[in-house]
Amino acid sequence: MSTRSKPEAVVRSALQLLELAEKDWAELEPRLGAGTLTVLRVDVDELRAKAPGAVAARQLKMAATATQESAATTLSALVQGIRTASRCAQLDPEVLRALGVGRRLYATVVKSVVEAAEHVEQAYREFPDALRGAGVLPADLERVTALRARLQSVDEAQEQGKVSSKEKTASRDLTKRRALATIGRVLAAAELAFLDNPERLAMYRAVLPK
């Protein structure tokens, strides 16, 4: 029995198995013991509840990633624009260094974009007149600050989403493995209980999760 079976397949197989085993409980109970089917039903109910939660967490993660990429791209373009304008205006090398001109900016790396934005903010505090002379307005700086804060917020949300998604997936997988173990025990009992009833045994074998 493969542990790679999807949760939906495990639920489907478990429900079919429960229907069979409840009818044949008199034959199976001596080999399984009381409570086996109850445990399986509880795990099935948990698995059905947890599967959508894991999917939702993955969807939220994907949405957060898309938002993060959009914010990073927008902020990166603004920072590059300010750098380019400052070079075109032939500002002093000291100002250009403060802006981060010459430093590599990776538009898809949050840390790189945030640091580049912080250089621009610091440079504007130190050399406001020079940057104003290059056409950089206070409104441009305000936009840099707002976009940086937004990007950092989105990045934090994504990191939290990663943890949430991993936790939900781990919990779901644990329940799935537990259900598969119980399914295996019931099928093993059926193999021995229905040695002389091949048709009934075939029905049990048919519910193996794919």
Flag whether pLDDT at 63 surpasses 70: no
Residues 94, 131 contacting (CB under 8 angstroms):
no
In the chain, where are the structural domains located? 7-205
Highest mean pLDDT: which of 44-53, 60-69, 145-154, 175-184?
Answer: 175-184
Span 138-195, pLDDT tens digits: 999 999 999 898 888 877 766 665 656 677 788 888 899 999 999 999 999 999 999 9
Listed as own residue / partner, the contacts of 78-83 with beta carbons closer than 8 Å and 24 or more positions apart are: 78/140, 78/143, 78/144, 78/147, 79/105, 79/113, 79/116, 79/117, 79/120, 79/144, 80/105, 82/120, 82/131, 82/136, 82/140, 82/144, 83/120
Flag whether pLDDT at 22 surpasses 70: yes
Residue-averaged pLDDT of the chain: 86
Span 96-137, pLDDT tens digits: 999 999 899 988 888 999 999 999 999 999 999 999 999 999
